């Protein structure tokens, strides 16, 4: 069903106010709506936002517990709550400390998980901060270099860099394809692309059922398919595991257990390193030059990260409506009207 974007954002915010302050609710709703306009229909951030609201309903009385609050670093235990409803509070902390110290970090664990990672970086870019967000993403997805079975998480990362125009922004798994893509391919019997997964003997395969076991273990290759991509995945594993007092994949329970996964969000204050406007102008000029490069025969243009998603969001906002599953709207309305 088609629904007015502003109306939908307002309904999200109204429901969120049942659990957090009005300012936090509005901030949550705005970033979730932006993420949905950028990512749907390939992903469904709106459904994830509604699921996060249900988590807060089901965890009445739970509170976020600070474990470390020292200098530039904060570590939080979410006690089963969904972190997205506290994104403003975390961004406020990062902005204040990065403004004072040049950079800041917030890590958290024992949460309901992070599915839509880009908004954790995008919201910081709105504040003229470079935002970087990393999440563990679950166990049994990434095959170590030379291995035959997925061990590490998909370990997604996102960043957003302010410019004089739209931010440069990227949100990706550090596997060749995200988990949901191999899951969908197996369910529908569709082939995988070449060089994204291996079978149980470590041989390349395009057959999803050969690379995704019944127990949920996915034999996805790291980005690039080799040792370098594995090294990047391993770095994110450590930063979102042991560093934030969460579990590493080798200690996690098989399956989807988000309370065992950690997240790290970093903010760098551009003004702490030099002139903010000069930085933004330089990055914008670089992006314009990159876009002017002659495209290859197989490409229609040279783009920088974020070009497609910004274009998609702007087209949706010009149209004024977005397509939403009726069940998602029904669940949102029920959450808003429950006593």
How far apart, in whole angstroms, are the C-alpha atoms of residue 36 and residue 307?
16
Q: Which domains does the chain have, with CATH numbers?
A: 176-221 (3.30.60.50)
Q: What is the mean pLDDT of each run of 10 residues along the chain (339 residues)?
A: 96 97 99 96 94 97 98 98 99 99 98 95 98 91 96 97 98 95 95 96 96 93 96 98 97 91 98 98 99 97 98 97 95 89
pTM over 0.75: yes
From residue 269, how far is each of 95, 104, 129 by CA, in Å? Answer: 8, 9, 5
Closest CA to 108 of 267, 241, 262, 249: 262
Q: 164-208 pLDDT, tens per residue?
A: 999 999 999 999 999 999 999 999 999 999 999 999 999 999 999
Q: 125 near 160, Cβ under 8 Å?
A: yes
DSSP string covering 85-114, please? GGHHHHHHHHHHHHHHHSEEEEEEESSS--
Q: What is the pLDDT of residue 135?
A: 98
Q: What is the pLDDT of residue 339?
A: 57
Q: 286-316 pLDDT, tens per residue?
A: 999 999 999 999 999 999 999 999 999 999 9
């Amino acid at each position: 069903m088609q629904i007015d974007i502003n109306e939908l954002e307002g309904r999200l915010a109204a429901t969120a106010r049942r659990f957090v302050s009005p300012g936090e609710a509005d901030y949550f709703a705005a970033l979730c709506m932006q993420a949905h306009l950028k990512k749907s229909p390939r992903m469904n951030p709106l459904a994830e936002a509604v699921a996060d609201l249900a988590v807060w309903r089901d965890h009445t009385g739970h509170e976020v517990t600070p474990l470390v609050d020292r200098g530039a670093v904060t570590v939080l235990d979410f006690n089963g709550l969904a972190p997205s409803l506290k994104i403003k509070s975390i961004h406020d902390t990062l902005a204040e400390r990065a403004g004072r110290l040049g950079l800041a970090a917030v890590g958290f664990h024992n949460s309901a998980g992070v599915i839509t990672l880009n908004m954790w970086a995008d919201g910081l870019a709105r504040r003229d901060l470079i935002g970087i967000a990393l999440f563990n993403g679950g166990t049994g997805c990434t095959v170590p270099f030379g291995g035959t079975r997925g061990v590490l998480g998909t370990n997604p990362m996102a960043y957003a860099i302010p410019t004089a125009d739209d931010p440069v922004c990227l949100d990706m798994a550090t596997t060749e394809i995200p988990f949901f893509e191999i899951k969908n391919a197996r369910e529908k019997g569709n082939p995988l692309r070449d060089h994204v997964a291996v079978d149980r003997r470590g041989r390349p395969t395009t057959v999803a059922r050969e690379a995704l076991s019944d127990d949920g273990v996915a034999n996805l290759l790291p980005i690039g398919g080799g040792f370098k991509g594995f090294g990047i995945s391993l770095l994110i594993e450590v930063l979102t595991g042991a560093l934030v007092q969460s579990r590493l994949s080798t200690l996690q329970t098989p399956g989807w257990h988000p309370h065992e996964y950690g997240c790290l969000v970093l903010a760098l204050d551009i003004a702490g390193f030099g002139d903010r406007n000069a930085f933004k102008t330089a990055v914008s000029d670089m992006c314009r030059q990159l876009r002017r490069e002659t495209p290859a025969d197989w490409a229609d243009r040279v783009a920088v990260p974020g070009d497609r998603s910004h274009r998609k969001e702007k087209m949706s906002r010009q149209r004024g409506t977005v397509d939403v599953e009726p069940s998602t709207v029904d669940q949102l309305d029920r959450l808003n009207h429950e006593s």
